[in-house]
Amino acid sequence: MRTSFLFFTCLILFTLSASSQTKRSKKYRYEFIGGIGPSGFLGDLGGAYGKGNHFVKDYNLFSSRYCLDGGVRYKTNSKFAVKGMLSYAMVSGSDALSKDEIRQNRNLNFRSPIIELSVQAEYYFISEVAKNLYTIGGLNSRKKRRKLSAYIFAGIGTFFYNPKEQLDGTWYSVRKYHLEGQALPGGSKQFSNFSVAIPGGIGFKEQLNKRWSIGAEFGLRKTFTDYIDGVSTNYYSPALLLKYEGPIAVKLADPSLGRIDGATMAGQERGNPKYKDSYMFLTFNVAYKFGKKTHRTRAKF
């Protein structure tokens, strides 16, 4: 995690410093951004066909929820930009949606809000540039601006999450009931509601006029927690869970269908801690340029 943090910090600093090496042009450098779209989750719960693998092919479209985001972009030059973003999303998963027999038998479900604050650097491989178009003899010229631009981005952020499981129509906090024995005798360490995310993805923009543009962006978030869905390790002793947390915790920990003998006994695999959880956003956004124009002065002879 430290290596990833240093890498993206250097990337953002490089992007900022690039503006000092580029001639300033007549344009607005700041933009307000707002977007909305679907969210997705890749983790231990839910999934598509076969055994879970934590890759996009395991994504189940029916588990999609929503995402809202907003922020400010600073365009350092035609190729680079930096933006700060605040995102709110809901992610979910359900074993009932999976076609895998083992996951169906486990029968767990979850939903969790995601509140993410991030800093991202953008590189425009198709940039919004202006070119001079000259008339006969080159005596007069006018600007023609490319309207479509495209970029890749990467960054670093922190986010809050709070997984809940539904039982008999009521949603219960997974962290509160210590379903895998977190912080209980013989159990694992309690997980935090906060973690680090590494966002990365691709985006497109279409300039409508000098100030307004529309676009779309897809971003995948690598995280450093396996508890966004509240599932990570093994089944905890139901007797101990009953003693310390009560009957509701026992039902939440194991709502299995009973189709596979011994699959949910204490010590059996409930999740897979080898792989960390991921989530993704597809947003359709609007941007508004603001701030003072920057100018360059030309000497006339």
Q: What are the tens digits of pLDDT across the range 181-204? A: 999 999 989 999 999 999 999 999
Q: What is the mean pLDDT of the chain?
A: 86
Average pLDDT for 271-276: 92
Per-residue CA distances from 250 to 97, 164, 237, 254, 284 (Å): 23, 15, 9, 6, 42
| Domain assignment present for 299 | no
Per-residue CA distances from 236 to 2, 153, 178, 222 (Å): 32, 41, 9, 28
Tell me if 75 sits within 8 A of 122, measured CB to CB.
Answer: no
pLDDT at 136: 53
Burial class for 196, CB neighbours closer than 10 Å (0-12, 13-18, 19+):
middle
pLDDT at 13 over 60: no
| Domain assignment present for 297 | no
pLDDT at 25: 45
Q: For residue 156, give the 3-state DSSP assignment.
A: strand
pLDDT at 132: 55
Q: Domain with 122 in it: what CATH number?
A: 2.40.160.20
Of 99, 116, 289, 127, the C-alpha closest to 210 is: 289
pLDDT at 119: 98
Q: For residue 235, give the 3-state DSSP assignment.
A: coil
| Domain assignment present for 211 | yes
| Domain assignment present for 18 | no
- Residues 195-251 pLDDT 10s: 999 999 999 999 999 899 999 999 999 999 999 999 999 999 999 999 999 999 999
> What is the reported pTM?
0.84
Query: Where does the pLDDT of residue 292 fall: very low under 50, low under 70, confident under 90, or very high at 90 and above?
Result: low
| Domain assignment present for 40 | yes
| Domain assignment present for 24 | no
Query: Where does the pLDDT of residue 143 fall: very low under 50, low under 70, confident under 90, or very high at 90 and above?
Result: low
Q: For residue 195, give the 3-state DSSP assignment.
A: strand
- Residues 72-84 pLDDT 10s: 999 999 899 999 9
Q: Write out the residue range of the structural domain in which residue 99 sits.
A: 2-12+35-290
Tally of domains in the chain: 1
| Domain assignment present for 263 | yes
| Domain assignment present for 301 | no
Of 34, 28, 112, the C-alpha closest to 74 is: 28
pLDDT at 198: 98
